[in-house]
């Protein structure tokens, strides 16, 4: 079940978070849990689209229960438009998952 969460931006995330960047299960993992689908600096939050539900966090503001595959595709397209530098990384992930 894919879910979407809005979380408060930390100072570190405010400086480095960009749409389409991968979100990992934790800092020590290379397992991709989802991606940043929006960074809203004006409201000091970002939207995470995660492939599986996550545990609640002190930074969590709001969540959407479940997204359709079309919703996810649209989120990713918009994220890549906002941050085209991530396109090669996404293409590599997709290519490796198919082969």
Contacts of 64 (CB under 8 A, 6+ apart): 3, 4, 5
pLDDT for the residue 58:
64
Q: CA 8 → CA 12, 13, 14, 62, 92, distances in Å?
A: 11, 9, 9, 10, 29
Share of the chain above pLDDT 90, in %: 46
The structural domain count of the chain equals 1
CA dist 95 and 82 (Å) reads 22
pLDDT for the residue 65:
66
- Decide if 5 contacts 67 (C-beta within 8 A): no
Residue 39, domain extent: 3-98
Q: What is this structure's pTM?
A: 0.85
pLDDT for the residue 59:
61
């Amino acid at each position: 079940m894919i879910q979407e969460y809005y979380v408060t931006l930390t100072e570190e995330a405010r400086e480095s978070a960009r749409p389409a960047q991968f979100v990992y299960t934790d800092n020590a993992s290379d397992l991709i849990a989802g991606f940043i689908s929006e960074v809203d600096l004006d409201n000091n939050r970002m939207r995470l689209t995660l492939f599986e539900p996550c545990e609640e966090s002190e930074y969590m503001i709001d969540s959407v229960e479940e997204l359709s595959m079309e919703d996810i595709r649209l989120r990713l397209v918009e994220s890549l438009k906002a941050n085209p530098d991530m396109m090669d990384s996404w293409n590599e992930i997709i290519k490796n998952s198919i082969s």
